[in-house]
Homo-oligomer: A and B are copies of this chain.
Amino acid sequence: MLASWNDGAAKSALTGFVARIADPAGGQYVPPAERIAVFDNDGTLWSEYPLPVQALFVADRVRQLAARDASMRDRQPFKAILEHDHEALHALGKQGLAELLFATHTGMSADEFTGIARAWFASAKHPKLGAIPRQVVFKPQIELLGYLREHGFKNYIVSGGGVDFIRAMAEEHYGIPPEQVIGSSAKLRVESAAGGPVLMKAAEAGSFNDREAKVQNIALHIGRRPVLAFGNSDGDLAMLRYVRAGPGARLALLLHHDDADREAAYDRGFKVSPLAEALDQAAAYGIVVVRMKRDWNTVFF
């Protein structure tokens, strides 16, 4: 049980919390139906360094699409991806990112996208870590998800990543079914077909599930305040504080990536997912900091 977690303050906070809320005789008992745990995904359940896994998917999809449509090689933002031109990509900003996401994630049915994502997960490779997702997910977190499940918790992912992308791997690799994944999304359009309605992924932004939106989407999808939250960046801070602010026993955890040897060392300077306020104010906000170097004896499978 939690074999990859070193004994110490972080592990004790976890096991002590679970023991307290599961003890019907204690004053902090939480009935199983209310044992909801929410996890950020990128940087919390799997590595996001040097780039989020979904960015690798986008790049592979652009290469696939460009192989069929050569004109993409001369058009931004695709050109920048194909030529690994990070400067040009950065200059294209949010508009360029949106175009990349729409071109690779929309204009097909939801079922078709799931098939594409599953096929990618079956063979994708991370530049440093190996097979995606098997060698990119954090072993201590997979143990934690199982530990919570065994104690009656329902685990949710609440991620800034694309909801359909995560759903394509979460059940098999995290034991988290699609209905327990909340993420960013494009709008869906319902089209009539001979056999009945078909859901098409439209090139129109839906929800960008970051910061305050994580709290709004937890309320919309789950409808009650979770008792445990785990994140790793300032994008998770609203969710961590929202969970922590509820009555009774609550636990909020923050993973600090301080292990350059085994994974990566980054926080406030990391543009993809900066960690500053949450780290500086953790004690004041009652958030438990998990230090990869100190608290995990194993990082990957």
Spell out A's residues near B (CB within 8 Å): 33, 36, 110, 154, 163-164, 167, 171, 177-179, 181, 185, 187-188, 190, 193, 195-199, 206, 212, 215-216, 219-224, 238, 241-242, 244-245, 285
Contact = CB atoms under 8 A, between A and B. Distances in A.
B212 A179 contact: no
A192 to B, nearest CB: 9
A57 B198 CA distance: 36
Which 10 pairs show the lowest CB-CB distances between chains A and B? A196-B245, A178-B223, A190-B212, A196-B241, A188-B216, A179-B222, A197-B242, A195-B245, A167-B223, A178-B224
A221 B224 CA distance: 15
A181 B197 CA distance: 22
A199 B188 CA distance: 26
B238 A190 contact: yes
Contacts of A220: 163, 185, 188, 206
Nearest to A207: B220
B177 A33 contact: yes
20 contacts: A33-B177, A154-B179, A163-B220, A167-B223, A179-B221, A181-B223, A185-B220, A188-B216, A188-B219, A188-B220, A190-B242, A193-B245, A196-B241, A196-B245, A197-B215, A197-B241, A197-B242, A198-B245, A199-B215, A199-B216
A195 B285 CA distance: 9
Contacts of A206: 220
A187 B33 CA distance: 26
Nearest to A223: B178
Copies in the complex: 2
Nearest to A241: B196
Nearest to A239: B197
Contacts of A219: 110, 188, 199
B110 A242 contact: no
Contacts of A36: 179
A227 to B, nearest CB: 13
Nearest to A252: B196
A46 to B, nearest CB: 19
A300 to B, nearest CB: 27
Given A195-B245, A197-B215, A215-B197, A222 B190 contact: no
Nearest to A285: B196
Given A190-B238, A242-B196, A245-B197, A179 B216 contact: no
